[in-house]
Chains A and B, each alone.
Chain A
Amino acid sequence: MLMKYLFAKNDEIPAGSATIFFGFSSIFWFVVGTGLGSFNAAKLAFPDWVTGTELFAFGHMRQVHVLAVIVGWISMAFGMTMMYMTPALGNTRLWSEKLGLWTVFLWNVGLSLGLILLWMGITSGREYSDLIWPIDLVVIFGVLVPLGINVWMTIAHRKTQGIYITNWFFGACIFMVTITILVGQSPEIFNLTGLTEAYLTFWHAHNLLGLWITPVAAGIAYYTIPKLTGNPLYSHRIGHLHFWAIIAFYSTPASHHLMSAPLPEWLKSFASVEGVLILIPAVAFVANILLTMKGKWSLFVENLETKFSITGVLLAIPLNMQGGFQQTRAINWYVHGTGWIVAHAHLALLGMSSFLEAAAVYFGLQQMLRRKLYSLTLGNLHYWFFIIGFCIYWISMTIAGLIQGAGKIYEVPYIDVVVAEHPYMIARWVGGTMVFTGNVVWLYNMWMTAREGTLVPEGRYPHELAYER
């Protein structure tokens, strides 16, 4: 079907097609990504499990897991939300449905190719920029630029006077992430070396999170929560404080990832201070959303999408408290490079961000398919597998990290730390596997929704209808 639409006239493509393809692709990659994660975790807990072949070696699969969830799941879910929220907020149609479909197509092809090469060991050897630069050029010119053009043109052709905060985030973040990737790849393309390369690697890694993953996820919540609750956003002005503070503060603290490297000291201090300042947008965001819930807190229990969304927002509280302070010199020396950071990264990507996107994908797919979710039971099952699995993962890795930190400063022989961490490695695998199982359920549930979900009548929202199963 995708093939047919790729060469159809724009006007003949039903509105919402791009959203639907993006939505299913993102869930698919979520299943793949978490499956790989669970497999990797098993290898850390039981190193002799699958051995003797290069293909299933830990070092070949770890980065495939990371990029499948970031570029596959999270970013495609972003693409999906942009395809339906941007026009809805501008009271108009998507600028080009066809361009949107081409974006999904190139995205899936490029990502599959990149991940296969990565799996084979064809890598650039730079964390988060592991994809070789030709693939990165596909990401920029085949994915981000077309996505950007679609979103920017839709915003420019809007039929409303103002621009809602979500669209501010979408429009700006696509631009900023494109710049980030361009600058981040420059060491590979222009062969920049040494500390410049090391610094740019983490400059890219940090800005990928700070200027793409967290702000776009927040932008999504600015749409879903008012939509689902029927309450207007508590304050558009606080939303703007959030937006501009992200751009001012979140684009600068990259070097706090390299506190122990011989980078200039002024840069590290600067990064540390700016890193604490990210609490400004963080508090603005959480407060704004939670205040929007006023009078509608029952939906947190009753409505599946709200449950996902608010869970994501609540997880943003520990996320930002950790994020703001763990990068200061006072704390960083203890936790740097330990499982604590792994826990924190999963709190950001699997916790805060993924919950917000899951809510938006649930909502958007029902809305665009014009079908009510197939089964509430399966939806709830997904939620509870997801949150419990995530908590097991997060808590066990945090403890493992603290053990590692203690081992580091008391100079315990490293092997004793490995032994002490073993139970938490098993817990981590159990947690990750639960999340993976939940996602398989989700994919099934969404597939059945597309086929058998109750039709939503014109003029109604899916969440207004009662469940039939």
Chain B
Amino acid sequence: MAFRQHKLGAAGVGLMLGFSMMITLFGPSNDFRSGVSTWVGLDKQLSLGRLIGFSYEDPTVSGEGKPITVILDKDPKTGAAIDPPVRAYVYKAGTKFSPGINHNELLGPGVEELSTGIGKIGSASMSSGAVFTVSKGEFNGEEVDYIENTTATRGWTPDAALRTAGDENTRYVGKGKTIYITEGCWWCHTLLPEQTQDWQAFGAPPFLGDFNGEMPTAFGSDRKAPDILHVAARNSSREWMTMHFFNPRLVQPNSIMPRFNYLWGRTDINGNPIDIKAWSKEYDEYLAGNRIYPPEVPEPARDSEVRALIDWVLTSLK
């Protein structure tokens, strides 16, 4: 057989597939690279850390090794009041940095120059930890947001920042988004209001620079529930969220959202055990009309998963 059809065919397939990969992979990568990080993009990557999903630092995907977001109304070093309060991202010693810190080109033109220049992110060290903020600066006459390594610029240390904030002003955003991923909220909800018609109901669609350094983006493709990219702008009540996650039908009788009562863990904030079976029984009695009020929803413990989830919803989804 002199004529080997399969060789010709293999070459043809390779050529055509290569051509279509040039267009669909190489082409857009140039556009993505020119995306300048917005405030939203910087806030997301700093609060979420290196990546969410299976990784060496968090193999069971439970939110280990994520940075902690704090709201500071006092300077952790000098104690001077800060008004308005700033959001700071605390990376304790050993916490993996978000991608833009080590790969500065991900920040986009302008942001990169300011962050490495006056922001001094180059001197941040993973082994001793760092505290970052997003600051405003000017680049070529335009205002841009950039990352500031406050450990270098103002001497803020992770411990001092956490202490100054206290539990009240601490938000476990990175862990919260991890729970969003593992619990599969994104099979029902989307994080992508559509450009064509969602402005009124769900708010503005995201911009090009809103994603730099985020992984995974988890847009969601199949909407069985409202888009929640801006849910905290519609509803910022921690109490509502707490009841809604425990059993959505406490606040929205027609909801099909599952109960996430198992995210409370074993005990509530005061260390009292949580008995979900007993709760459900009392709730059924309430449904049957034998009780006037539904049973109380336990207050989440500080290290519970739902605390982190609500932190993320109320802090990031504005």
- Count residues of chain A with CB under 8 A from any CB of chain B: 86
Q: In chain A, what residue has the closest Cβ to B178?
A: A125
Bound state CA distance, A69 and B195, in angstroms?
A: 33
| B226 touches A (CB below 8 Å) | yes
Q: Does B92 contact A (CB under 8 A)?
A: no
The answer to whether A196 and B29 touch (CB under 8 A), given A48-B249, A176-B17, is yes
Residue among A58, A120, A134 with the highest chain B CB neighbour number at 10 A:
A58
Q: Which of A125, A161, A179, A411 contacts B216 (CB 8 A)?
A: A125
The complex places the Cα of A341 from the Cα of B222 at a distance, in Å, of 8
Residues of B contacting A333 with CB < 8 Å? 194, 196-197
Q: CB-CB < 8 A to B192: which residues of A?
A: 260-261
- Closest beta carbon of chain B to A342's beta carbon, Å: 6
CB 8 Å contact bits of B203-236 with A (1 = contact, 0 = none):
0011110111111111111111110000000000
- Of A44, A125, A342, A408, the contact of B218 (CB 8 Å cutoff): A125
Residues B217 and A247 in contact, CB atoms below 8 Å apart: no
CB contacts (< 8 Å) of A414 on chain B: these are 201, 225-226
Interface string of A67-99 (1 = CB under 8 A from B): 000000000000000000000000000000000
Given the complex, which residues of B lie within 8 Å of A196, measured CB to CB?
Answer: 29, 32
Q: What's the Cα separation between A383 and B242 when bound, in Å?
A: 47
Whether the pair B54, A244 counts as a contact (CB closer than 8 A) is: no
Nearest-neighbour CB distance to chain A for B315, whole angstroms, equals: 19
Is A457 in the interface zone, CB < 8 Å from B?
A: no
Residues of A within 8 A of B205 (CB): 260, 262
B24 at the interface (CB under 8 A from A): yes
Q: A198 and B211 in contact (CB under 8 A), knowing A57-B258, A125-B53? A: yes
Task: Check if A295 is an interface residue, CB within 8 A of chain B.
Answer: no
Q: Please name all residues of chain B whose beta carbon is closer than 8 Å to the beta carbon of A247 when the two chains form the complex.
A: 13, 16-17, 20
Question: Could you tell me if B187 and A62 are in contact, using CB atoms closer than 8 angstroms?
Answer: yes
A255 at the interface (CB under 8 A from B): yes
CB distance from B162 to the nearest CB of A (A): 26
A262 touches B206 (CB 8 A): yes
Interface residues of B in 217-274 (CB under 8 A from A): 217-226, 248-249, 252, 254-262
Chain A residue nearest to B16 in the complex (CB): A247
Contact (Cβ within 8 A) B221 A257? yes
Identity of the chain A residue whose Cβ is nearest the Cβ of B263 in the assembled complex:
A54
Q: Is B23's CB under 8 angstroms from A122's CB?
A: no
Q: Please, how many angstroms separate the alpha-carbon atoms of A266 and B32 in the complex? A: 13
Known: A58-B187, A261-B192. A47 touches B218 (CB 8 A): no
Q: Does B138 lie at the interface of the complex (its beta carbon under 8 Å from any beta carbon of A)?
A: no
Overall SS of chain A's interface:
helix
Residue B307 interfacial (CB < 8 Å) = no
B226 pairs with A161, CB closer than 8 A: no
Chain B positions within 8 Å of A52 at CB level? 259, 261-262, 276-277, 280
Measured CB to CB, the closest approach of chain A to B193, in angstroms, equals 8
Bound Cα distance from A409 to B194, whole angstroms: 11
Stretch at the interface among B4-12, B71-79, B139-147, B150-158: B4-12
CB distance from A292 to the nearest CB of B (A): 22
> By the criterion CB–CB under 8 Å, are A58 and B280 in contact?
no
Query: Judging by beta carbons under 8 Å apart, are A252 and B23 in contact?
Result: yes
Q: Confirm or deny: B288 has a beta carbon within 8 angstroms of a beta carbon on chain A.
A: no
In the assembled complex, B93 has its CB within 8 A of some CB on chain A: no
Q: B20–A199 contact, CB under 8 A?
A: no
How far is A252 from B197 in the complex, measured between Cα atoms in Å? 27
User: Is B168 engaged at the interface, CB distance under 8 Å to the other chain?
Assistant: no
Q: Does A291 interact with chain B (Cβ within 8 Å)? A: no
A419 contacts B by Cβ under 8 Å:
yes
- Are A194 and B16 in contact, with the CB atoms below 8 A? no
Say if the beta carbon of A193 comes within 8 Å of chain B.
yes
Residues of chain B within 8 A (CB-CB) of A122 are 54, 59-61, 182
Q: Which residue of chain A is the closest to B248 with respect to CB atoms?
A: A47
The answer to whether A121 and B211 have CB atoms under 8 Å apart is no
The answer to whether B133 has its CB under 8 Å from any CB of chain A is no
Chain A residues near B193 (CB, 8 Å)? 260
| Interface: A264 (CB within 8 A) | yes
Is A192 an interface position by the 8 A CB rule? yes
Identify 15 residue pairs between A and B in the complex whose beta-carbon atoms are under 8 Å apart, listed by A's number.
A59-B185, A121-B61, A123-B54, A126-B218, A162-B5, A191-B215, A197-B215, A197-B216, A260-B193, A260-B194, A261-B219, A262-B207, A270-B23, A337-B221, A418-B224
Q: A124-B53, A163-B5, A194-B214 are in contact. List 4 more A-B contacts (CB 8 A).
A: A47-B259, A171-B9, A195-B35, A198-B219
